[in-house]
Amino acid sequence: MKSWKSWASIASSFFFGLQYCAFVGLLGSVPRRSTAMPGRARTPHLDVVIAHCDRPLGWVSKFVTRNVSNVTIISKCNQTVEGAPPQARIVRLGNVGRCDHSYAHWLAQLQDRVPSDRQGSDLILFIKDNDMSARYSEHGVMDRAVPFDEMVQSATGPSRFACGRQWFSRRGGQPSTYHVKAVLGSFAMRAYNRTAGKLASPQGSSGPFQSKYKHMRAWMQDVGIAELLKNQTVVRVCYGGAFLTTYSQTVLPASRTWQKIEASLARGESIEEGHFAERSWAALLSTPLTLQDEVKAFTYLKTIHFAPPLNGMILQR
């Protein structure tokens, strides 16, 4: 049972959100990020960004069930890229930051080279080089891969985002992508074992895993994410490093957030900051939740995860 201070923090954050939305008159429609993108044609596009280390990529063409316009493979482990689509552009980078650094690098470079025919509704798929078949389990919560057609349906809807993994619980309550931001911000992971997904040696192959940050909230403040999400009580979180979004969502307010995230993730190969970034992509690359969305999330709330690694996750009835 959490102390009254924990629940008070959640309540205070939520009711501040209610007051803010009422004050600015946004009860029906929190503004979305600009969908203005350079372009002339309305031809639908799908661009794919693959974070590659050492696994063959032949499975990608089977997983992605629609035509692909561009493929960028960011390869870091000095290995041959097997099964790369013929139209792929291969970018070699130093082995830092894993998939999250690769995604941040692509986003940081995007502003200078958006194809002229891209529209806000065109899609971008971010995936790792694994074949999506792995299953994970944490605190009685398990996940599965989401079929690509289902991802497209979600990403072309109001959220403009789809997670490549879906969670379910063996203990009752339906895990959701909704997370209480105040609790999510307390997340910290002092060590990590990639294979088992459990706490392990605090010393990685390229230096210490542990960051200089006390918790995720401090990192978010440092790279500018906290400012972007300051008026949200509930945010989306996608675990697993696979997600689909639209070009409209890559247009952040005037800031260098993508560049700051990329620089933060360049500290080493397996680092705590990568887990902070993993938990930030959905909030950054989806439309902000409306007040009604937040109220609905709490209306159907069964419980909230407070323990890592699922800090803030809302399980619904």
Please return the burial class of 230, using the count of CB atoms within 10 Å of its CB with bins 0-12, 13-18 and 19+: exposed
Which pLDDT score, from 0 to 100, does residue 42 have?
A: 53
If you ran DSSP here, which 8-state letter would residue 250 be given?
Answer: G
Sign of CA dihedral 229, 105, 122, 150: negative
Which pLDDT score, from 0 to 100, does residue 135 have?
A: 74
Per-residue pLDDT of 176-231, as tens digits, reads 999 999 999 999 997 766 543 433 434 445 679 999 999 999 999 999 999 999 99
Per-residue pLDDT of 78-114, as tens digits, reads 999 999 988 899 999 999 999 999 999 999 998 677 8
Domains: count for the chain? 1
Which pLDDT score, from 0 to 100, does residue 103 have?
A: 98
Does residue 30 fall inside a structural domain?
no
Q: Residue 253's pLDDT band (boundaries 50, 70, 90)?
A: confident
Does residue 32 fall inside a structural domain?
no
CA–CA distance, 201 with 21 (Å, rounded to integer):
45
CA–CA distance, 195 with 248 (Å, rounded to integer):
35
Does residue 38 fall inside a structural domain?
no
- Using the predicted structure, report yes or no on whether residue 26 has a pLDDT greater than 50: no
Please spell the DSSP secondary structure of 201-219, one letter per residue: -SEETTEESS-S-SSHHHH
- Using the predicted structure, report yes or no on whether residue 29 has a pLDDT greater than 70: no
Does residue 39 fall inside a structural domain?
no
Please return the burial class of 243, using the count of CB atoms within 10 Å of its CB with bins 0-12, 13-18 and 19+: buried
**Angstrom distances, CA of residue 301 to CA of 236, 264, 298, 312:** 15, 34, 5, 12
Q: Write out the residue range of the structural domain in which residue 198 sits.
A: 4-23+44-316
Does residue 301 fall inside a structural domain?
yes
Q: Do residues 19 and 283 touch, judged by C-beta distance below 8 A?
A: no
If you ran DSSP here, which 8-state letter would residue 247 be given?
Answer: G
Does residue 35 fall inside a structural domain?
no
